[in-house]
A and B are shown apart, each in its own frame.
Chain A
Amino acid sequence: MPASITSAEPTAAQLARRRTLLAERAAHWKRTRKLTLVLLALWFATSFGTVFFARELSGVTLFDWPLSFYFAAQGAALIYLAILAAYAVVMRRIDRRFERRIGELE
């Protein structure tokens, strides 16, 4: 929370700081949204794409496994786990980047 909100007459420097803070927040949210969108697209393709084309994929085998069965039984779930790992890692990076920028302001 910016401390300047409460002061009655914000100085020009305080106003500028507040603007940068808001801009940084907006940038952070934009990055978060982009990451969310990309990972959701991957989630969607994994869940519904592989099932929709399951009959076409069932002829292909991967180490004895019919591909469509493998995806539904294990592959999709492992991709979900990877999505969650990627989200946690990249979000931490995005958060750190925000913290660094705010730290530069102080």
Chain B
Amino acid sequence: MSTTKNYFRKLSRYYLWYTVCFAAFLVALALLESEGMPRIWIGYMFMLATIVLYAAIGVISRTSNVSEYYVAGRRVPALFNGMATAADWISAASFISLAGGLYLHGFDGLAYIMGWTGGYCLVALLIAPYLRKFAQYTIPDFLAARYGGGANGRGGPVRVMAVGATIIVSFTYVVAQIYAVGLIASRFTGVDFSVGIFLGLASILVCSFLGGMRAITWTQVAQYIVILVAFLIPSMWLSVKHADNPVPQLAYGSVLPKLAQREAELNQDPKERQVRAIFMHRAAAYSARLDALPASWEAGRQAAQQRLDAVRLRNASLHEIRSAERALIAYPKNAEDAAREWAAVRDANLARGQPPEPHAAPFPGADRAQSDIRRNNFLALVFCLMLGTAALPHILMRSYTTPSVQETRVSVFWALFFILLIYLTIPALAVLVKYDIYSHLVGSEFSRLPTWISYWANVDKVNPLISIADINRDGIVQLAEIAIDGDVLVLATPEIGGLPYVISGLVAAGGLAAALSTADGLLLAISNALSHDIYYKMVDPAASTQKRVTISKLLLLAVAFIAAYAASQKPADILSLVGAAFSLAASTLFPALVLGVFWKRGNHRGAMAAMVAGFSVCVFYMIRTSSVLGAGAAGQWFDIAPISAGIFGVPAGIATLIVVSLLSAPPERSTAGLVDHIRAPE
């Protein structure tokens, strides 16, 4: 007992020192900035310092012991395990995009806050303690041992399917994380996107390659501290600015009524109405062109050609000729292309012509039915995110690393506690930034726009993160003239709030830490599934422990490079698949995991059928409702969006598991023994 206490004290001391050093580093950089150090150097310092730090922890924690490599020796104290789980959990999406999502979608965005926190109740109540009592290494381990079947009842087929599900769910997710690493590194240091990816990859690899779960755990604790500091400082600053209260979670209650009042004003403002009317007018023009297809396409093409001829004829400047040429090249190639492009432009204009929705009002809609659809989608999304959380292999894997079952329960509590430190701040940050923009940026003059707008507008020229154009030419910024991408919000918050650039660098380092920590956990989940479950358990059960760890490290390297290659292709479709990962995880793994603990009669036929059924229903619904491959919105059941496909997949999985199990022979007697064992106290 006293050794574990000493261990805990030692760890606390280390991390306390680390936090102090980190604070000193921040102060030093702030001083250097006031002495006139150029911005780009601050960006370099942050990237370099944090990446070297994570790599150093990896080198210190290097190991080739099986238990240390796979489950950190099962001696991580609950508090630190919770912190590492939180870092594992807070991905680039949570850190960078979530506050922006709340800014743009108001109440609807809160589904992510509820779903991504409520899922931990299911983790703690239904799965984690039982996995810890089972005390093996991976999620497929548990499913294979519980359900058996296959040759000699070793659960081979169940294991293979569980490995497949683990890889499908984790791979899309890890590609998105590495993509975010490349994005942040390239924006803040000016290096090329692919160089950024490989820089980030290097630090991921040094860490997880050398020390597996052990190194990842201690790095993630360090990363969590960076994430927390990076998120809280700008939020607290804005909170003091607008509510005279340094606790943003409490302060934004007083900002909400002010925001609502400002929204009502902007709704009635004649200038705002004028801008919105211009957008509606543009949308109507596109509607007319769409109705007149294909004649309108032909006419438009001829008009573009004539403009080009005209500027050539009158010997206009090269610039004018080039832009006329570009207009002709960019013109839709045929009537079908035109129909698609113009419909998109019309919808974008229509969307910008709408008055702002009140931020705090739940499910605004034209009528009760529209409002009900939004409520049902909210409920379905919360459901899928919660059950998906409880079935994500890289999170569940963390329940193996604590010293006891009771510590696992406490560790899930700490995990949610540390997640909430960030997640309760996110809605506050969204409201504070929204109020700042609505009351300061809106109504200011175009000639005096703050510099951060032009900086962020020029980061990505093809899809600008923020664009402001004087639509009604009155020289004043109207709300309807601002188009802002959710992803820019957190990264630009320090500049919006007028903080020194060192805080911008800190926020970027926080985003990098969030992406790296999640990528670490995911890569380990994938490579462990391959090395432990496929290689050791199925290909070569006689492999020595040394060989197992070596194979695992090699696979980790291979998976990391494949993921980095996939990310360097900038796959837009993979990024949109990340949301789908939750529905897939919930539909495929959740029924087998939970019924495996709570229903002894479930057998391997039921489990395999359930994984297939859950996965197929989920994928089928996503394809059916996709606008490219299927019928689009017309194919939806009960108007549920494809991201919430799990709402159909999970019941399908549960029902299949029960029906198929009852129709086939009951599981072996040893299964009942195993279930009794994992339910029993230690």
Residues of A within 8 A of B (CB): 25, 28-29, 32, 36, 39-40, 43, 46-48, 51-52, 54-55, 58, 63-66, 68-70, 72-74, 76-78, 80-81, 83-85, 87-88, 91-92, 94-95, 98-99
Distance in angstroms from A56 CB to nearest chain B CB is: 9
Some 13 contacts from A to B, beta carbons below 8 A apart, are A25-B679, A47-B386, A52-B379, A65-B253, A68-B362, A70-B253, A77-B424, A78-B420, A83-B125, A87-B409, A88-B124, A88-B410, A91-B406
Please give me the 9 A-B residue pairs with the lowest Cβ-Cβ distance, nearest first: A54-B362, A72-B110, A73-B427, A69-B360, A84-B413, A77-B117, A88-B409, A64-B253, A43-B121
Distance in angstroms from B100 CB to nearest chain A CB is: 16
B427 and A81 contact, CB distance less than 8 A: no
A73 and B113 contact, CB distance less than 8 A: yes
| A88 closest partner in B (C-beta) | B409
A51 and B379 contact, CB distance less than 8 A: yes
B114 and A87 contact, CB distance less than 8 A: no
Distance in angstroms from B404 CB to nearest chain A CB is: 10
Contact of B416 among A46, A63, A84 (CB under 8 A): A84
Distance in angstroms from B494 CB to nearest chain A CB is: 23
CB neighbors of A among B412-470 (8 A): 412-413, 416-417, 420, 423-424, 427
Residues of B within 8 A of A (CB): 107, 110-111, 113-114, 117-118, 120-122, 124-126, 129, 249, 253-254, 256-257, 360-363, 371, 375, 378-379, 382-383, 386, 406, 409-410, 412-413, 416-417, 420, 423-424, 427, 676, 679-682
Known: A73-B110, A81-B416, A84-B416. A28 touches B680 (CB 8 A): yes
Contact of A51 among B114, B254, B256, B371 (CB under 8 A): B114
Known: A69-B110, A77-B113, A88-B413. 14 other contacts (CB 8 A): A29-B679, A39-B121, A39-B125, A43-B118, A52-B379, A70-B253, A76-B118, A80-B117, A80-B120, A83-B125, A84-B124, A85-B413, A87-B413, A91-B409
B416 and A80 contact, CB distance less than 8 A: yes
Distance in angstroms from A43 CB to nearest chain B CB is: 4
| A83 closest partner in B (C-beta) | B121
A81 and B413 contact, CB distance less than 8 A: yes
Q: Tell me the number of A-to-B contacts counted with CB atoms below 8 Å.
A: 130
Known: A55-B362, A84-B413, A88-B413. A74 touches B125 (CB 8 A): no
Listed residue (A40, A46, A69, A91) with the most chain B CB atoms within 10 angstroms of its CB: A69
Cα–Cα distance between A40 and B119 once the two chains are bound (Å): 11
Contact of B107 among A69, A85, A99 (CB under 8 A): A69
Inter-chain contacts of B120 with A (CB < 8 A): 80, 84
B382 and A66 contact, CB distance less than 8 A: no
Cα–Cα distance between A94 and B417 once the two chains are bound (Å): 23
A81 and B256 contact, CB distance less than 8 A: no
Known: A55-B362, A55-B363, A87-B124. A76 touches B114 (CB 8 A): yes
Known: A65-B253, A65-B256. A51 touches B427 (CB 8 A): no
Contact of A76 among B117, B249, B413, B681 (CB under 8 A): B117
Known: A80-B121, A88-B409. A64 touches B256 (CB 8 A): yes
Contact of B423 among A28, A43, A70, A77 (CB under 8 A): A77
A51 and B378 contact, CB distance less than 8 A: yes
Listed residue (B360, B406, B676) with the most chain A CB atoms within 10 angstroms of its CB: B360
| A96 closest partner in B (C-beta) | B681
